[in-house]
Structure 1
Amino acid sequence: MGNSIDAPRRRPGLIAATLAALALSAVGAWAESACREDTVMLRGDWGSVRFNVEIADEPQEQARGLMGREAMPVSSGMLFVYPAPRRASFWMRNTLIPLDMLFVDASGTVTHIHHEAVPLDETSIFGGDNVLAVLEINGGLARRLGITEGTRLRHPAFSPDEAAWPC
């Protein structure tokens, strides 16, 4: 019988190799997409999660942050990235939504979390010294997901030589 239905039975090695190549291709595509400028991955004992982020790496973008926004999708956030580790403080001037602020060191490790910053509050929120990045997400989300200090963050902003979870 020479029909195409019988062909897979006669060539199992070719089919296995094709399936393996497709699987590796899919894994490779996922790995590449896992480390993108517009994506932050977080993992810890609690599990893992991915956020689509806007980057604020210029002083003007950092000063504006999420001011004036009335809502933000649950899977989104803003990542503030500094040129070098520094002392970091934030406030909620003109920010209309409650936020969780995750302060991150040069290794990509969350060193401090400020939960549910109050909209429009101008009280300074100190995040610590040696902060390279700050991830802002919707208020209450860090607790709901179980994100804690010690959580690892993955993003191209962290040097592969220093990152606890490199790209």
Structure 2
Amino acid sequence: MDNNEIEILRKVISEEITKQLKPIVNAIEELTEEIENFHLYLEAEKREREDTGKCISQDELMNKLGITQEDLDNIEDVEIELQETQNQNEASDAIKKVIKNELSQVSYDTWIAECKGVIEGNILRWFCPNTFTQDITDKRYAKLILNACKLLELDVKEVKILVGNVEKVI
């Protein structure tokens, strides 16, 4: 065999190996995603088991979250009493500011910063930019978002985590 034939044979073998490995690589990627989803599911179940369903006072909630009245007073532009007619963006921003104090900067930037909330009746519709962010936010941060609403004395009883553009709703 000459060098040209060897090179052609190498190329054919390389292409065949790549073709045969592609389904294996795809399967590994899917399995990795399933494992991550399972870990998220376990975390959500753990948090749900820890939830007693008991209502607590604002002072107890603040104590549990490690927030003092001084912390609230130092948060820029957060209104404790939001009027029904108040701009939806102000309510959403106030919720995000409370949440920001509870998360690392990376977690906040990754999962909360791009989201917006709209209050309709006693339901907060929390809009995420994509389904992945929606899934993580729903599993990890829905309770924190609801607790922020309680802390701000908003009449929110339920948080629905959705995908979409809030501007289309308002």
Instruction: Give TM-score, length-normalised by structure 1.
Output: 0.33
The structure carrying a bigger strand percent of its residues is 1
